[in-house]
Structure 1
Amino acid sequence: MKKIRIEIKWGLLFILSGLIWMILEKSLGWHDVHLEKHATYTLFYAPIAILIYVLALIDKKRTDYHGKMTYVQGLVSGIIVTVIVVILTPLSQYITHTYISPEYFPNIIDMSIQQGYMDEEEAKAYFSLNNYILQSSIFAAFMGILTTAVVSIFIRSKG
């Protein structure tokens, strides 16, 4: 456990930042009155997510590798952060859709039906907690590994 304490810390911070972001989205009306803008505006979280991975790998390099970290060491560390994020994603989605924004699913279902994107059955199946947990977990794994692969290039020690 001690070997991955930094990754655990940053995985938890990543999840916490995502929950704070959901509170911000909700407070700005992106889950109700401005729902049609949600898909675009939610992309503003991407730089924050990338920054967390950058800070995690810098922390790992400085703390555990005394300022010298290879690309592979950075990659492994970032993948561990990603695994922690993926493990915690179902809990994060549950908290988001049960406590922070329980009306999000009914609102997005209604909007999707009204705008003709889906019929009611499709919308209810797509916009459900189980489906969002699955989608979010897959997305977190893919983007975490991709982000780690790129960030590790810049964080690694040269020479």
Structure 2
Amino acid sequence: MKKFEIELKWASAFTAISIAWVYFEKFLGYHDANVSSQAIFSFWLMVPQALVYVVSIRQKREKYYGGEITWQKAFISGVVLSAIIAGLSPAAVYLMTEFISPEFLSNIVEVRAEQGVPREGLEQIYNLNSLVSQAIFNNLATGVFFSAVIALFLKNKKA
């Protein structure tokens, strides 16, 4: 477990940032009055999330590998971070949909239905199970991408 201590710490920070972002979205009205623009606003969450990857991989390089890291080791560190984040995401989604913003799913279904999208399709997309699956997949996919790109910039040793 000591080997992945840094990734665990930053995955927890990533999850906390994501939960705080949901509070921020709700405060700004993106879970009720402005729910139709929520996806666009949520896109900006990737900026602090990418920064978590940068800081995590940089810390892994400095504290675990003594200041030198290959692209492969940096990438693996990022992938491990992604896997831990994906593992934490069901709890974050549950917290969001049950406690922080329980009205979010019904609000988004109503707005999209008013726009002419069939309600039964919307209810298949906007439910707890679907959001958990999407969170896991999206965190893994974006995390692997972030890891590959960031590892290119943070590597400082030939393989």
Q: Above 0.5 in TM-score?
A: yes
Q: Which residue of 2 aligns with 1:55?
A: 55
Q: What letter matches 2:42 in structure 1? A: T
Q: Which residue of 2 aligns with 1:157?
A: 156
| Residue 107 (str. 1) matches residue 107 (str. 2) | yes
How many Å separate the matches in 1 of 2:142 and 2:53?
11
Q: Which residue of 1 aligns with 2:137?
A: 138
Q: What letter matches 2:54 in structure 1? A: V
How many Å separate the matches in 2 of 1:78 and 1:144?
7
The gaps in structure 1 that reach 5 residues or longer are: none
Q: Cα deviation per residue 1:122-144 (whole Å; 9 max; x = unaligned)? A: 11111101001111111110000
Q: Which residue of 2 aligns with 1:97?
A: 97
How many Å separate the matches in 2 of 1:4 and 1:140?
18
Q: Which residue of 2 aligns with 1:127?
A: 126
Q: Which residue of 1 aligns with 2:6?
A: 6
Q: Cα deviation per residue 1:102-128 (whole Å; 9 max; x = unaligned)? A: 000010010111111x22211111110
Q: Cα deviation per residue 1:27-86 (whole Å; 9 max; x = unaligned)? A: 000110111211111111111111000000111011001110111110111011001001
Number of residues of Structure 1 aligned to a counterpart in Structure 2: 158
How many Å separate the matches in 2 of 1:82 and 1:39?
21
How many Å separate the matches in 2 of 1:114 and 1:53?
39
Aligned to 1:29, the other structure's residue is in SS state coil
How many Å separate the matches in 2 of 1:83 and 1:158?
25
Q: What letter matches 1:45 in structure 2? A: L
Q: Which residue of 1 aligns with 2:147?
A: 148
What CA RMSD, in Å, does the superposition of the two structures yield over aligned residues?
0.9
Q: Cα deviation per residue 1:79-103 (whole Å; 9 max; x = unaligned)? A: 1100100111111100011111100
How many Å separate the matches in 2 of 1:23 and 1:44?
14
Greater than 4 Å deviation, 4+ residue runs: none
How many Å separate the matches in 2 of 1:29 and 1:76?
38
How many Å separate the matches in 1 of 2:47 and 2:134?
20
How many Å separate the matches in 1 of 2:95 and 2:50?
23
Q: Which residue of 2 aligns with 1:67?
A: 67
Overall identity of the aligned pairs, in % = 29
